[in-house]
Structure 1
Amino acid sequence: MTATVEENTEAKPGAVPTFEVTLRIERYNPEVDDAPHFEDYRVTVHGTDRVLDALHQIKWDQDGSLSFRRSCAHGVCGSDAMRINGKNRLACKTLVKDVNPGKPITVEPIKGLPVEKDLIVDMEPFFQAYRDVMPFLVTTGNEPTRERLQSQEDRERFDDTTKCILCAACTTSCPVFWNDGQYFGPQAIVGAHRFIFDSRDDGAAQRLEILNDKEGVWRCRTTFNCTDACPRGIQVTKAIQEVKRALLTNKF
């Protein structure tokens, strides 16, 4: 089925245009379905609408059984990561008009994690990998009596990786992660990077030892999928390379 963008030609000058689009959504209910399948939904959207707005229309007005995660709807919580036209994106940040609305817009769950229902996946393996790299400040010695000071230069060393919102878009865009359920994945390495290069932290050696595992940082094949998928613009591949360099040189 081919969809066409039908703009409202009766709109007043300056008004936001409206048009009809088709969303082709992968559906799966383990209680009744043997395998995932696609269903088409036709909705009318505004030129300013995101894919999340279209999904809300479908759930609220057409099919209440459609299941997906979302929370803040402002690109901060990261809960609505999904595959839109074959690419990992946040539904709340993706404008419908920017994803070729003249054809059916394909919406699928992110890959590499078990699908629980429709667009909802089991995030536990992802979060377990994150927990495994110790994503918290590790310090030694006596408890300080004042703030732990840090120069602006030291702070900038790991600034990029503080932007992560744990959406899993990078990890679930990685071909190695799809095929190897034991691989930590890009996000866990980014989470470790944030603390490895923090001048206030004393746990870098422990984290590097964890990532030196056969399923750790060396499994990265540098395809740049993770960097392309990150909705926050984090240079994920660069962070992974810096962790590799720290392992080889013992400098961090």
Structure 2
Amino acid sequence: MSTAVLENNPSAPEVIPTFTATLIIRRFDPDVDDEPRWQDFDVEVYPTDRVLDALHKIKWEQDGSLTFRRSCAHGICGSDAMRINGKNRLACKTLIKDLDTTKPIYVEAIKGLPLEKDLIVDMEPFFESYRQIQPFLIASSNPEKERIQSVTQRERFDDTTKCILCAACTSSCPVFWTDGQYFGPAAIVNAHRFIFDSRDEDAKVRLDILNDKEGVWRCRTTFNCSEACPRGIEVTKAISEVKAAILRGKA
């Protein structure tokens, strides 16, 4: 560990202490590997560093072949979802100091989607489910001004508007791991966002879609999805509200 040596000089720049973290990453190169393999890296990090920062340092300073997705690095784009110490998280929001740094940090791709390379999975099955629930406002009217909505009406679906499509919830679901046809929590959350929107006119169609055998009824209420969501969405609650709406026959 390196530390700053501060003398009686208030103008001296402070050097932030660093420490060495060990990351054990599940690697896979389809051109070389028959099966994924684990590889460990020691990297010097700051207390303020996130797992994404450590991955960058490994890629830039130790192994340029390490492959992962990232974009905004601020928990908005959702592209860097991965399993960190066995839990789905966004690498850009996971501070290394919040993990147990006395032990190695295990990093691997999210589960349930086809592995392409290292920490990258094929997201197409995930987005296909998302597209099937018609994730857009459907309204036949053509008002001259905005569609008026009360604060209470907006609050009804406010939580599910937070989804960033990172797939952390869906890929944490045991049913999704074993059933490639299940819509998954994220698709249901985005259906919820429009089903309960007072401006939308196609809630019945979405409810019919999710009443399918691979829809909401496949959910086993394990709460894995809610725990995995980096935006704090009450995913399991949203799924139960969609189930109730199906039983009522309306939103």
Q: Deviations over 1:39-96 (max 9, x none)?
A: 0001000000000000000000000000000000000000000000000000000001
Q: Whole-Å Cα distance in 2 between the matches of residues 238 and 16 of structure 1?
A: 43
How far off its partner does 1:16 sit? Answer: 2.9
Letter paired with 1:195? F
| Cα distance change, pair 11–164 in 1 and its aligned pair in 2 (3 A) | farther
By how many angstroms is 1:249 displaced? 1.1
Q: Do the aligned partners of 2:18 and 2:44 also contact (CA within 8 Å) in 1? A: yes
Counterpart code for 1:71: S
Secondary structure in 1 aligned to 2:39?
Answer: strand
Give 2:162's aligned amino acid: K
- Cα distance in 2 for partners of 1:110, 1:138 equals 33
Once the 2 structures are TM-superposed, how far is the Cα of residue 17 of structure 1 from its aligned partner? 2.4
The residue that corresponds to 1:240 in the other structure is 239
Q: Which residue of 1 aligns with 2:87?
A: 87
What amino acid sits opposite 1:145 in the alignment? Answer: E
What SS does the corresponding residue of 1:44 show, helix, strand or coil? strand
Distance in 2 between the 1:208 and 1:218 partners?
12
User: Is 2:25 the counterpart of 1:31?
Assistant: no
Please provide the CA RMSD for this pair: 1.2
CA distance in 2 between partners of 1:166 and 1:216 (Å):
18
Secondary structure of the corresponding residue to residue 212 of structure 2: coil
**TM-score for the superposition, normalised by structure 2:** 0.95
TM-score with structure 1 setting the length: 0.95
Q: Which residue of 2 aligns with 1:222?
A: 221
Match of 2:2 in 1: 8
Number of the residue aligned with 2:206: 207
Q: 1:9 deviation in Å?
A: 4.5
Aligned-partner Cα distance in 1 for 2:214–2:109: 24
Distance of aligned partners of 1:77 and 1:12 in 2 relative to their CA distance in 1, 3 Å threshold? farther
- Residue equivalent to 2:105: 105
Change (3 A) 1:35 1:12: farther
Q: Give the aligned partner of residue 119 of structure 1.
A: 119
Specify the code of the residue in structure 2 equivalent to 1:140: S
The one-letter code matched in structure 1 to 2:134 is M
- Contact preservation (8 Å) 1:88, 1:169: yes
Cα offset, 1:146, TM superposition: 1.1
Q: Which amino acid aligns with 1:72?
A: C
